[in-house]
Structure 1
Amino acid sequence: MFFNNFFLGCILLTLFGCGSSDIKASPESDKSSRANEKIFELNLVDKQISDQGGVAKIFKNTHSCKLSVELFSSYGKETYDFNFKSSKLKTTNHSTYKYVNGIVSYGTEDDKELQELMAEPKEKTTELNEMELIKEEKVVGNKNKKIAEEFQYYLSQFPTDVILKCE
């Protein structure tokens, strides 16, 4: 009986320590908890930008902001991660996905971009909403005019006071 109580006491002492107040979170862990603080979110269906579903979010960290956009369509989804500061685009990660069990290709051979987005018939059973990555690119600054225009368009959908938080 004494041994059980002694053993339990040792476990509790090990788990909860001696109540030392010298133990504090490291500055790195404090920074990482603020690393991607969401400051605003838009429903792109409500803004009539996407009828299939979509969301745009702005995250702030200590040095810059990230505008994350996710758009859904009947073919799949498209994502953008725009990293910026003071409304100036630094880098962009752009990805395009298609549903594995999506629409069977019926486009013409000339319409390669549309055919890329269409799923091909599969013999094996897969998850209903499973997607596969078909395109991924990383762009620095405004080197890709289309992506720079997309950034300006989505950024313009946010209230000015939210954008000013990224100065």
Structure 2
Amino acid sequence: MSYAPLDTSLIEQRLRDLVPAFEEVNGAAAYHTLKGLQDFRTGTCYVVLAAESNPAADGGQPRRKAAASAVFGVVICTRNYRDPHAEAAKDDAIIFAGKAREALIGWTPGNWSNCTWLKGQVLDSDQDRVLWIDVYHTTHVLGGNP
């Protein structure tokens, strides 16, 4: 039984296996070491747990198990090498995001619910890079089998 937060390493491995176009797929630890847009390497992807909540919190806490509604982000850095206004790199980001979405939407790892896509948007850009994020939702069970 595990009461740990959502294990994003499962998502990271899924992206490594199904989106070989990513040069690297990293987790939150690597993401949080980056201080600015210039520190992101193009072709990289980061999976970051954003939040967890108890969807049944108003109804009382079960004794040993609880659903955990989890929101996670997939952050993708692409190169902006053709266009000073970032439009070409945004196109590259959309291609990478599409491949990641294909790998994750509807995927049911272990005892989680299906991964559901919530939204996508540009986080930041400059003349060299565009940072794109897709936000997903799933539910896993605290105190359940891993």
Larger Rg: 1
Higher relative contact order (CA 8 A, sep 6+): 2
Q: TM-score, normalised by structure 1?
A: 0.27
Q: TM-score, normalised by structure 2?
A: 0.29
